[in-house]
Amino acid sequence: MHMISGLGALTALFMAFPLAAQSSTSAPGIAASGTATPVAAEKKPIPIVSPPRQIDPILKMTIAPEKRGDLSTCGDRDKPSLDFVAKTCWPVLQAYQDLIRLQQASKAAMSAQKRNAPNAEGLKNRALTLAMKSAKQHGGGRWPMQDEIAQGSYRSLIALLKQFGDHDAALTAYDDLIAVQARSLMRGGATRRGYLYKNKSEYLLELGRRDDALANFNTAVALADSQPIDMISNVEHAELIAYDAVIAKDEDRALDVIDLFLKKTERHSRHQDLVYYPVRILKIYILAGREDHDGVLAELKTFNSLARRNMCQQEKPVELYFPQVISPTQSDPRIAAELKTFGCSDAVIAAMDTNMANGVPASDGVKPLPPR
């Protein structure tokens, strides 16, 4: 009786226990004395539940119909005030909500395209529809922040078109974005317009369209003839085009770009030592490579007259490219003397050829200049 009863209990225990947990040597839950011990209940995995998608609080906003005619805050021109103005200005709130819907749709489409999802084209078309709506309804709007929001729509559109490889359409969108920015009343417009031109040139260079990038640069720098331009963005733009030409071994193009930039914009800056530093360094690099001693000396003297700090204060100069770019002309006693006025020691001057033999080291994000 005891044997039958023991087998029945054991069978019931095995039936209730997961097979993977059974021991090959002894029955779980049976002590050495043969008496059963309590068995812990099976732990089932806790299902992972994704949190519900959060709705952007801007999309939940509204303005009571009787207050929509109050336009007292709509004329604000400070970008950081956008959230505040949207709460009180009905035209801006509508534009802002359209932008958020576009950003969400564009992000979903790009994510689907990266995954090769079958619905990627459909999501893209939805985002394009929202982009066209935003551009039509808010670009050239009555209030400054409507134009600001329209620019955000164009940026989302450009990112979307790039992701899907619609390069010509993306470049057209760049032109539309620049046009909207050009008439914007928001503060800091010249700076942002300058960087838009530069960003378009970067894109063109990525596509291998060097001549188009040069034409885009010429358009940007020509603005200096008739209106204020942003010096920092434009000097970066000039450096971008000139550096690309140097790498492509088209130094004549690089010099043309630098000289055009200096001619058009030099009179605009009160901080020329900072603003023009990168393009002057590239020009010295080219002239030194051609062993144009007189040209290098003239550029050094101009550069030195603008500099407000010593450029060679250490045995290992930390200034980007300088003074290594002067190699191999530093043996000219006139150039060596001018370098010493920059604070360059004899050791630094003597090491220029060695440094240049491996290319001039550069900061992150900037390719080093080729060695001579």
Quickly list DSSP for 303-367: HHHH--S-S--SSS--SSSTTGGGTTSTTSHHHHHHHHHTT--HHHHHTHHHHHHT-B---TTSP
| Residue 73 lies in domain | 61-187
Assess if residue 1 is contained within a domain. no
The pTM (predicted TM-score) of the whole model is: 0.78
Assess if residue 296 is contained within a domain. yes
pLDDT attached to residue 52: 59
Assess if residue 101 is contained within a domain. yes
187, 218, 242: which is the final residue of a domain? 187
Q: 183 and 68: one domain?
A: yes
Q: To which H or E segment does residue 188 belong?
A: none
Assess if residue 167 is contained within a domain. yes
172, 187, 202: which is the final residue of a domain? 187
CA 43/CA 217 separation, integer angstroms? 66
CA 302/CA 279 separation, integer angstroms? 13
Please state, in angstroms and as integers, the Cα–Cα distance from residue 182 to each residue in 140, 323, 350, following that order.
11, 39, 50
Please state, in angstroms and as integers, the Cα–Cα distance from residue 285 to each residue in 24, 124, 251, 300, following that order.
78, 46, 10, 11
pLDDT attached to residue 228: 74
Assess if residue 193 is contained within a domain. no
187, 209, 243: which is the final residue of a domain? 187
pLDDT attached to residue 5: 38
Q: 278 and 182: one domain?
A: no
Q: To which H or E segment does residue 89 belong?
A: none
How many structural domains does the chain have?
2
Q: 182 and 289: one domain?
A: no
Before 65, cis peptide (omega within 30)?
Answer: no
Long-range contacts of 55-60 (CB under 8 A, 24+ apart): 56/100, 56/104, 58/83, 58/86, 58/93, 58/96, 58/97, 58/100, 59/97, 59/100, 59/101
Least Cα distance to 282 among 247, 310, 313 occurs for 247
Least Cα distance to 326 among 305, 296, 348 occurs for 296
Q: 275 and 183: one domain?
A: no
Assess if residue 277 is contained within a domain. yes
The predicted-structure confidence for 9-57, as pLDDT tens digits, reads as follows: 323 323 333 333 344 444 444 444 455 555 555 666 665 555 556 788 8
Least Cα distance to 106 among 49, 172, 152, 52 occurs for 152
Q: Nearest 5°: phi and psi at 118? A: -65, -20
Assess if residue 315 is contained within a domain. yes
Long-range contacts of 79-84 (CB under 8 A, 24+ apart): 79/148, 79/186, 79/187, 79/188, 82/145, 82/148, 82/149, 83/58
Q: Which residues of the chain have pLDDT under 50?
A: 1-33
Contact 345, 370 (CB under 8 A): no
pLDDT attached to residue 146: 86
Assess if residue 275 is contained within a domain. yes
pLDDT attached to residue 80: 82
Sort residue 147 into left (φ over 0), alpha (ψ -120 to 50) or beta.
alpha
Residue with tokens 């050239």: 140
